Amino acid sequence: MAKTIIDAHNVTKTYNPEKVPVYAVQDVHVHIEEGEFVALVGPSGSGKSTLLNMMGGLDEPTKGSVIIDGVELTELSENKLIDFRLHNIGFVFQAFNLIPVLTAKENVGFVLQLQHMPKKEREKRVLSLLEEVDLEDKIDSKPGELSGGQQQRIAVARALASKPKIILADEPTANLDSKSAANLLNIMAKLNKEENITFLFSTHDQRVIKKARRVITLVDGKVDSDVQQTPT
């Protein structure tokens, strides 16, 4: 039996709790096992990004707990949480993913440098990651010189750099054309299969949803459905 990598228990996020409370996420229970490829879907404002942020330790739940690989995130101090993210979670955002003043190679290597990986080892890993996302020829290009799809692939390579257990992606294909989106999804699916990395991504893109093996639907901050499916 696969081990539970994400355990969100009774998670609630309320904005403005003392005046007019707005429930972004309400009593959500989600268990995700290692190696799953999960799509978090729902209409705008359903709480997808909020739940994803809480699972990534970027936001703190008002109530409930988030346990990642046995570590209760709400119990970590701010610095320990940042360190935890650095070593255990990879992020891919919708936009503004990369550091604009660094080249593709430097962007991917940035996280490794924060982990104090020696230069030779780091360069080797960066090159292999860029090969995995088919961008070895863009090694010295800055984000401004790359297309949206290429930028997202660099972001995936960076998210993978620290060999995280989980990659959280918030609408990763939202700004991409069909071809770039399909390319990105194929890379993510391949990494999930070959390296057993758990992928959790919020989306309302049907192309992404079809690739997922499990689809969790949120409506008004609550889990409406949680179904397994065969990816197409």
Partner 1 sequence: MLFQIAWRNIWRNTSRSLVVVSSIIIGIWAGIFILSFSWGLYKNNINESVYKQLSHIQIHNPDFKQENDPKFTIPNSDSILKQLESDNRIASVSSRVIATGMITSTTTASGVTIYGINPVSETNQIGLDQNLIEGVYFGSGKDNEILIGQKLAKKHKLKLKSKVVLTFTNVNSEIVSAAFRVGGIYRSKNISLDEVNVYVKQEHLRELLDLKPSETNEIAILIKDEEQLDSITNYSKTLVPNAKVEDWRQLAPELDLIIESFNLYTYIISGLILLALTFGIVNTMLMSVLERIRELGMLMAIGLNKRKIFFMIMLETIYLTLMGCPIGLLMGWLTVTILGRTGIDISMFSEGLASYGFSSMIYPALDQEKYMIIVTMCLITAILSAIYPAYKALQLNPSEAIRKI
Which residues form the interface with partner 1 (CB under 8 A)? 49-50, 53, 56, 58-59, 78-79, 82-83, 85-87, 91, 93, 95-97, 99-102, 106, 110-111, 113-114, 158-159, 162, 170
Q: How many residues does the chain have?
A: 232
Instruction: Tell the smallest beta-carbon distance from residue 126 to partner 1 (Å).
Output: 13
Question: 39 or 159: whose CB is closer to partner 1?
Answer: 159
The smaller minimum CB distance to partner 1, of residues 36 and 170, is found at 170
* Minimal distance, residue 39 CB to partner 1, in Å: 20
Cβ nearer to partner 1, comparing 150 with 211: 150
Residue 58 class from Cβ within 10 Å (0-12 exposed, 13-18 middle, 19+ buried)?
A: middle
**Cβ 73 to partner 1, closest distance in Å?**
13
| Smallest gap from residue 60 Cβ to partner 1 (A) | 9
| Residue 37 C-beta: closest distance to partner 1, Å | 21
49 or 192: whose CB is closer to partner 1?
A: 49
CB of 145 to partner 1, least distance (A): 14
Judged by beta carbon, residue 102 or residue 182, the one nearer partner 1 is: 102
